[in-house]
């Protein structure tokens, strides 16, 4: 139950220099490789919607969640060592949320089903590791540390059998939250 009409309104503008200077590139959907549009990227403005930005092409590497607002020098703010190379639009979603998290790869080990945010899987489920998941409904952010801290990764509906294969080696997820309307 996504409202596709709202998705068309999402818009992010990337700038080569800090403080919205230099060449710019407007994006209203997924962009797997921005290097043909900009040689570097030091600031951006999210006019509508929410986006994930990545420091590697094809939605790989470190990820950052960008909600509506101005980021005059987000490279230093987020401690990004490299340019933004790709971005993904997060669709507006108004349905229910459901995700199964698994202790091991390929949906092995303990399994728990979530329908709301979880700030610490160790506290809630006595689960010390989360290595795969199945997102049945909704769009989620998963975080490396409890209380929504550390590196993050965006998950849309689908099966994720092994996080190691997603360009996030050595990373485990300890908290997860829904991307809600309030983000927009």
What is the per-residue pLDDT across 23-52, written as a single tens digit (0 to 9) for each?
Answer: 999 999 999 999 889 988 888 999 999 999
Domain end, chosen from 74, 90, 106, is at 90
Residue pointed to by tokens 């975080």: 143
**Residue where the block lists tokens 């049945």:** 136
Are residues 74 and 9 part of one domain?
yes
CATH number at residue 83: 2.60.20.10
Number of domains in the chain: 2
CA–CA gap between residue 93 and residue 139 (Å, rounded): 8
Q: Which residues contact 29 (CB under 8 A, 6 or more apart)?
A: 10, 89
Among 57-66, 129-138, 139-148, whose mean pLDDT is lowest?
A: 57-66
Same domain, 82 and 114: no
Q: 62, 90, 118: which is the final residue of a domain?
A: 90
Residue 184's pLDDT is 54
Please tell me whether residues 147 and 86 are part of one structural domain: no
DSSP single-letter state for residue 157: S
Backbone angles phi, psi at 4, to 5 degrees: -65, -25
Of 119, 50, 54, 142, give the one whose Cα is nearest residue 91.
50
């Amino acid at each position: 139950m996504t409202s596709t009409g709202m998705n068309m309104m999402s818009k992010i503008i990337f700038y080569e220099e800090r403080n919205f200077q230099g060449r710019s590139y407007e994006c209203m959907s997924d962009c797997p490789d921005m290097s043909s549009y900009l040689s570097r990227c030091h600031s951006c403005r999210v006019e509508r919607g929410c986006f994930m930005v990545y420091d590697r092409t094809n939605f790989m590497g470190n990820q950052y969640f960008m909600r509506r607002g101005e980021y005059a020098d987000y490279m230093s703010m987020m401690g990004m060592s490299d340019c933004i190379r790709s971005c993904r639009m997060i669709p507006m979603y108004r349905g229910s949320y459901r995700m199964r998290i698994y202790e091991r790869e390929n949906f092995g080990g303990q399994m728990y089903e979530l329908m709301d945010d979880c700030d610490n899987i160790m506290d809630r489920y006595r689960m010390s590791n989360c290595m795969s998941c199945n997102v049945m409904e909704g769009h989620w952010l998963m975080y490396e540390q409890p209380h929504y801290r550390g590196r993050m990764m965006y998950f849309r509906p689908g099966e994720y059998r092994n996080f190691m294969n997603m360009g996030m080696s050595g990373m485990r997820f300890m908290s997860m939250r829904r991307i809600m309307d309030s983000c927009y």
